[in-house]
Structure formats: structure tokens, C-alpha cells
Amino acid sequence: MDLYAQMAALVSEGRPFVLATVIESAGSTPQKPGSKMVVLGDGTLRGTVGGGAIEHQIIQAALALLEAPEHTRVIETHLTHELGMCCGGRMKVFLEKHGAPPRLTVFGAGHVAKELALLAHQVGFRVTVVDARPEWANPERFPGLELLVKDPADHARALTGGTEHYYCVTTHDHPLDQAVVEALVNKPSAYLGVIGSRRKAERFRMRLRAAGVDEAAIQRLHSPMGVDIGALTPREIAVSIVGELIRVRRSA
């Protein structure tokens, strides 16, 4: 059970790993079916599948799986014929990748942002809320979420992005929204959206084109943000946006 507790901790920390489980063995082998080992991206281990050459082979396969598009892999090895081990048996090991949860950064801490952040957290996103106003970005309004009390545009400029990152721009100020979008639009992300009307969205796109932003990057901008469900209240709008986030996540 200690290994399962460690895996739960890794998930909560957002650290990807591969779980290796011995599913078949024959003859003399260092571990029997059910033995498990966790391999992290830096090569550190939790548990064991037997040590020696077989464990080294599994570690290398697990590290390769972390970088691969697929999520599972099966390794079958004859310990003597293929690895030169004296055991003389055969092992089959199932590798299962557990990726880091998708990361959602919500720029702004207003009424829609509050509902959006809490709902996204409930459906599995690791949420960070960024707002320079401590009276809005506080633990009472966003219980259990990561809060950064700083200028959203400054934070956006400091980010490097990545395919597991989702960005929702919902600040209290249109020029601030524009500054955040301009800081993020050319950075890699799974999703970049900005709240507002269709008229606001077209103005944003016009300004991005005037700033020389590539058209393909502009077309990836989700604005108006969310699935069209006729939402009116902040909670309904949050449902609309999270629905779109889920659709993007599942299609990926």
C-alpha cells in the first residue's frame, strides 16, 4: 500500500511517471506476477521488478514511454537469451504511463474566474489563478487552488508554455486582457481563450494582426470562449468554458 500512497502523492504533485507491473513469469525470475515499480522522468524509482539487467531494461523502456504518444507498452524478455542473466526464466511486464494533470492558468479573479477555476479543478485540472488584487485573489474565494497575487500580464510574459498548458484570460480590464493574450499567443499551449463578446474578439484579432502575429496563431485563439449553450450567469458561463476545455483535452 505504501507504493500506492506514493503514486497518489506523485499525481497530486503533477509529476508524470510510469507504473511497471510484472504480469507473467516462467522459470526462475527475480520477481513474480504482481510486483510493481514506479519510474519517474529523472530515472528515480519506487519499488522494484527484480534489479539487474531486467530492471535496467524496464527503466529504459519506461523513460521512452514517457516521451512517446502512446500510454501503454508490454515488454517480454527471456532473461538468459536476451539479457545474459543466469536466472533462465522469462518475464512479461506491463508499462502504464500516468501523465501530469493538465494545467489551467486563469488570468483574473472575478466572478466568472471564480466559478471557472473551481469547476475546472473538480474535473481534473491543476488550476492557478493570477490577479494583482489580493481582495479578489484570496483563499476564501478560491479554496484549495494555487493563487498568484501579481500582474497577470507580467506572469504571462514569464511563462514558457507547453502542450499540457491551458490559458483562460478573464481579467477585469480589456487592455489587460489584450496584454495577456499578446504575451501568450505565440507560446505553445493546448488552449488559449479570452472572455468577451464577438465584437471584442474581432477587435483583439485585428490588433494581433496589426502587431504582426502569425495568422495561424490568431486562429488558435478561442474567443468568444466556451461552448455555445446560451449561458448568462457566471456559473453557466463557467460550465460553457469548462465544457470547451474538456472537449480539447479529450480530443488531444
pLDDT digits (tens, 9 = 90+) for 150-178: 999 999 999 998 888 999 999 999 999 99
For the cut 70, the answer to whether the pLDDT of residue 3 exceeds it is yes
Over the stretch 25-46, which tens digit does the pLDDT of each residue have? Answer: 876 665 678 899 999 989 999 9
Per 3-state DSSP, what percentage of the chain is helix, strand, and coil (rounded to 5)?
A: 35, 25, 40
What pLDDT, on a 0 to 100 scale, did the predictor assign at position 151?
97
> Whole-angstrom distance between the N-terminal and C-terminal Cα of the chain?
32
CA–CA distance, 3 with 158 (Å, rounded to integer): 36
The model carries a pTM of 0.73
How crowded is the C-beta side of 31, counted as CA atoms within 13 Å?
21
Percent of the chain with pLDDT over 70: 93
Give the C-alpha separation, 177 to 95, whole Å. Answer: 43
What lies within 8 Å, CB to CB, of 54 at 6+ separation is: 29, 30, 77, 79, 83, 85, 91
Highest mean pLDDT among 167-171, 184-188, 206-210: 167-171
Greatest C-alpha distance within the chain: 72
Tell me what percent of the residues of the chain surpass a pLDDT of 90: 65
pLDDT in the model for residue 70: 83
- Across the chain, mean pLDDT equals 89
pLDDT digits (tens, 9 = 90+) for 113-124: 999 999 999 998
Q: What is the mean pLDDT of residues 181-188?
A: 94
Q: How many Å apart are CA 82 and CA 12, to the nearest integer?
A: 38
| Model confidence at 89: pLDDT above 80 | no
Residue found under cell 493574450? 181
Q: Which of 56-70, 78-92, 132-146 has the lowest mean pLDDT?
A: 78-92
* pLDDT computed for residue 81 by the predictor: 47
With a cut of 80, say whether residue 240 has pLDDT above it. yes
Q: How far is CA 168 from CA 2, 94, 117, 175, in A?
A: 37, 37, 10, 15
Contacts of 142 (CB under 8 A, 6+ apart): 109, 114, 117, 118, 129
Instruction: State whether the Cα torsion 41-67-20-165 is positive or negative.
Output: positive
Its sign, for the CA torsion 148, 14, 187, 224, is negative
The C-alpha cell at 31 is: 520477481
Q: What residue type is assigned to position 39 of the chain?
A: V
Nearest CA to 8 out of 59, 42, 46 is that of 46
Half-sphere exposure of 188 (CA within 13 A, CB side): 5
